[in-house]
Chain A
Amino acid sequence: MNFSSSSQYVVSQELATAVNAAVTLEKPLLLKGEPGTGKTRLAEELASALETDLLQWSIKSTTKAQQGLYEYDAVSRLRDSQLGSEKVHDISNYIRPGKLWQAFTAKKRPVLLIDEIDKADVEFPNDLLHELDQMAFHVYETGEQITAQQRPIVLITSNNEKALPDAFLRRCFFHYIQFPDSDTLKAIVDVHFPDLHSDLLDTALAMFFELREVPGLKKKPSTSELLDWLRLLLVEDINADELRKSREQGGVLPLTGALLKHEQDVERLAEHARIQRR
């Protein structure tokens, strides 16, 4: 197994090492990093590289660990019993497998993405310890033991909203996706916009990195914002000269809305530009 950059996705050497190690040693891989650095995209790309299924479990603040295993639909059963349905005698008709169950019983070793695990309650990761470790769980209603045919490739993403418990971390491999340097970023842009003029790209990247250096931004623009911005520049047909001009004037960038998502950040940038000009 050797995961590397594809025609749609650029992987750094560190990330490739991380993914390969996690796949080989069958350990969950925990990914952190600024929002928009491609954590979720990685899972999609990995699944397509391995030609297998991607099971995506998006975590919300109300998600319970049990929902990933299975849910027992008592209400349907109660209703069926009223209607005198035959189904009602077999409890397994009312057990709904969750994402983990699906991953354990898949024919081909799937990629299981547990997306934004930090959204859930603080105890959520602890509740999954045993299941991720042993790759097995017990269904109380039917007395069945679900064991993984083959250990799925588990990717977990976190945006650092909540700290994760130590016991959970010990069982995972951890990789922090760093913001790409300008060479990597160029490679990423090349993959998305193959026919972008190189001088426009150079100017745009320079401005983008300057923008990231502006102190005190609430949310620094990330890769996905850069791609949106470039798309807009292309649509609006802004050329490198115009871009350079506004940069020299130290003014606000054209189409800032794609890059900055907070009102205060736009103000902050204008203020910063004023100070620079002085």
Chain B
Amino acid sequence: MFIDFFQILRRHGLKTSITEWLDLLSAMKANLAFADVEQFYYLSRLILVKDESQYDKFDRAFSEYVDKVAKVDVTDKIPKDWLENALKRNLSDEEKKKAQQLGSLDELMKTFHERLQEQQKRHQGGSKWIGTGGTSPFGAYGYHPGGIRIGQHGNRNRSAAKVWDKREFRDLDDNARLEQRGFQLALRKLRQFARTGAATELDLNGTIEATSKKGGLLDLKWQAERHNAVKIILLLDVGGSMDDYVYQCEQLFTALKNEFKHLELFYFHNCVYEGVWRENSRRRQEQIPTEQLIQTYGEDYKLLFVGDATMGPYEIAYPGGSVEHWNEEPGEVWMNRLTRHFEKVAWLNPQPEGHWRYYMSVRMIHNLVGGRMYPLTLAGLERAMSTIK
């Protein structure tokens, strides 16, 4: 059943599984979308699609399928004996009489065929309709949106087609799948649990020890819950060439925020100089001296840079090289100060690793962080995490 539909969906890049497929079939069996193509659309979307970003793909696939089905000549596809039975059951007495007047079954079939043809051409009201689902053997065919046309009133089909042709979910479609969950799982590698906060958990070992010391008299001991104690400073390159990677950075940031309680975020542009800032809109007014960053946060903080490291080499190597202001000391001096203070450092680069060697600045930064530069992908993040662990 619906093998074509399944194939079309897969071809449009929807990862529909067999289980979900079977679910849809049992839904059809339970008559949840009988003889209504719009219902069928909602139902199949409900069962087969699991993320609103995939809705648009589904709409396109569905549209293709419906178009394809519309081309099928129903009368050719239905076995003759079904038609005979259906005719007998569905014709009114008057029509039956008329049919007898027509004489042979062949002629009757011809009339029936003509009616169907006419119907497909004109999409017209139910009065002329022959098969009206339910009791007719077309019921079996009613599983099929092509068959669903039988027994519909008016041009309902046409109005329904709009639902998926509207493509309301286009904005939500994004070729890059949400990577957040993947990122988050990669970040779990960097867990170091420590007990901080209020003692709310029963300390079993402590209780046993204390109780036995008191000769069996119960002495409850409590301890704080475990939390991830890893502390992270995130230095994020903003503006310019980084605008292309905003989405990836957002995903990473959300994942980081969910995983780490101690997360400090600062921004810089292209290369780190004497000042960084916390809020991008106030970068001119409220800069925090990089020196202060080094003094405030201990070396147990892990330093994570995110940037494409694509700039003019002089922006790293020379005083006054910054494109935005006059810097007394070259960027590499500041980079060295940071990497000397923070032991655990990694640089995540959203550019594909294959492109790195074409940029001199990327090679320079790569050296400045001691080769600890990784691409901002799932695999890259995993490598970065094991470096700063």
How many whole Å from B166's CB to the nearest CB in chain A?
11
Cβ–Cβ < 8 Å partners of B178 in chain A = 163
How many whole Å from B157's CB to the nearest CB in chain A?
16
Are the CB atoms of B30 and A24 closer together than 8 Å? yes
Q: Mark A148-179, 1 if CB is under 8 A from B, else 0.
A: 00000000000001111110011111111010
Instruction: Select the residue from A20, A21, A78, A170 with max chain B CB neighbours within 10 A.
Output: A21
Interface size on B, as a range, is 35 or more
Q: Does B229 lie at the interface of the complex (its beta carbon under 8 Å from any beta carbon of A)?
A: no
Q: Mark B146-181, 1 if CB is under 8 A from A, else 0.
A: 000000000000000000000011000000001011
Are the CB atoms of A75 and B181 closer together than 8 Å? no
Determine, out of A11-19, A50-58, A190-198, the stretch whose residues face the partner at the interface: A11-19
Cβ–Cβ < 8 Å partners of A24 in chain B = 27, 30, 32
Are the CB atoms of B217 and A82 closer together than 8 Å? yes
How many whole Å from A63's CB to the nearest CB in chain B?
13
Q: Does B220 lie at the interface of the complex (its beta carbon under 8 Å from any beta carbon of A)?
A: yes
Are the CB atoms of A170 and B50 closer together than 8 Å? yes
The chain A residue with its CB closest to the CB of B172 is A176
Are the CB atoms of B51 and A162 closer together than 8 Å? no
Q: Does A32 lie at the interface of the complex (its beta carbon under 8 Å from any beta carbon of B)?
A: yes
Mostly, the B contact residues are helix
Cβ–Cβ < 8 Å partners of B202 in chain A = 74-75
Cβ–Cβ < 8 Å partners of B30 in chain A = 24-25
Cβ–Cβ < 8 Å partners of A166 in chain B = 15, 50
Determine, out of B40-48, B69-77, B291-299, B328-336, the stretch whose residues face the partner at the interface: B40-48
Cβ-neighbour of A163 out of B46, B169, B180 (below 8 A):
B180
How many whole Å from A216's CB to the nearest CB in chain B?
12
Q: Does B52 lie at the interface of the complex (its beta carbon under 8 Å from any beta carbon of A)?
A: yes
Are the CB atoms of A14 and B181 closer together than 8 Å? no
Assuming the contacts A25-B23, A27-B23, A74-B202, asked whether A169 and B184 have C-beta atoms less than 8 A apart, the reply is no
Cβ–Cβ < 8 Å partners of A164 in chain B = 181
Cβ–Cβ < 8 Å partners of A62 in chain B = 225
Are the CB atoms of B51 and A122 closer together than 8 Å? no
Cβ-neighbour of A176 out of B32, B52, B180, B207 (below 8 A):
B52
The chain B residue with its CB closest to the CB of A29 is B46
Cβ-neighbour of B27 out of A21, A30, A78 (below 8 A):
A21
Cβ–Cβ < 8 Å partners of B199 in chain A = none
The chain B residue with its CB closest to the CB of A22 is B46
Q: Mark B11-24, 1 if CB is under 8 A from A, else 0.
A: 00001010110010
Are the CB atoms of A17 and B43 closer together than 8 Å? yes
Are the CB atoms of B51 and A174 closer together than 8 Å? yes
Cβ–Cβ < 8 Å partners of A30 in chain B = 50
Cβ–Cβ < 8 Å partners of B220 in chain A = 75, 78
Q: Does B105 lie at the interface of the complex (its beta carbon under 8 Å from any beta carbon of A)?
A: no
Q: Does B39 lie at the interface of the complex (its beta carbon under 8 Å from any beta carbon of A)?
A: yes
Q: Mark B295-320, 1 if CB is under 8 A from A, else 0.
A: 00000000000000000000000000
Q: Does A79 lie at the interface of the complex (its beta carbon under 8 Å from any beta carbon of B)?
A: yes
Cβ-neighbour of B49 out of A163, A171, A174 (below 8 A):
A174
Are the CB atoms of B46 and A18 closer together than 8 Å? yes
The chain B residue with its CB closest to the CB of A81 is B218
Q: Does B258 lie at the interface of the complex (its beta carbon under 8 Å from any beta carbon of A)?
A: yes
Q: Does B141 lie at the interface of the complex (its beta carbon under 8 Å from any beta carbon of A)?
A: no
Are the CB atoms of B181 and A165 closer together than 8 Å? yes
Are the CB atoms of A14 and B52 closer together than 8 Å? no
Which residues of A79-128 are within 8 A (CB) of B?
79, 81-82, 122
A32 to B53 alpha-carbon distance, docked (Å): 12
How many whole Å from B57's CB to the nearest CB in chain A?
14
Q: Does B288 lie at the interface of the complex (its beta carbon under 8 Å from any beta carbon of A)?
A: no
Cβ-neighbour of B180 out of A14, A25, A32, A162 (below 8 A):
A162
Q: Does B55 lie at the interface of the complex (its beta carbon under 8 Å from any beta carbon of A)?
A: yes
How many whole Å from A33's CB to the nearest CB in chain B?
8
Cβ–Cβ < 8 Å partners of A75 in chain B = 202, 220
Chain B interface (Cβ within 8 Å of chain A)? 15, 17, 19-20, 23, 26-27, 30, 32-33, 38-39, 42-43, 46-47, 49-52, 55, 168-169, 178, 180-181, 184-185, 188, 202, 207, 217-218, 220, 225, 254, 258
Chain A interface (Cβ within 8 Å of chain B)? 13-14, 17-18, 20-22, 24-25, 27, 30, 32, 62, 74-75, 78-79, 81-82, 122, 161-166, 169-176, 178
30 A-B interface contacts by CB (under 8 A): A13-B38, A14-B42, A17-B32, A17-B33, A17-B39, A18-B42, A24-B27, A24-B30, A25-B26, A25-B32, A27-B23, A74-B202, A75-B202, A75-B220, A78-B218, A78-B220, A122-B185, A122-B188, A162-B184, A163-B178, A163-B181, A164-B181, A165-B181, A169-B50, A170-B17, A172-B50, A173-B47, A174-B46, A175-B46, A176-B52
Known: A82-B218, A175-B46. 11 other contacts (CB 8 A): A21-B32, A24-B32, A62-B225, A78-B207, A78-B220, A162-B184, A163-B180, A165-B181, A173-B23, A174-B46, A176-B52
Lowest 5 A-B CB distances belong to which pairs? A163-B181, A176-B52, A169-B50, A17-B42, A174-B50
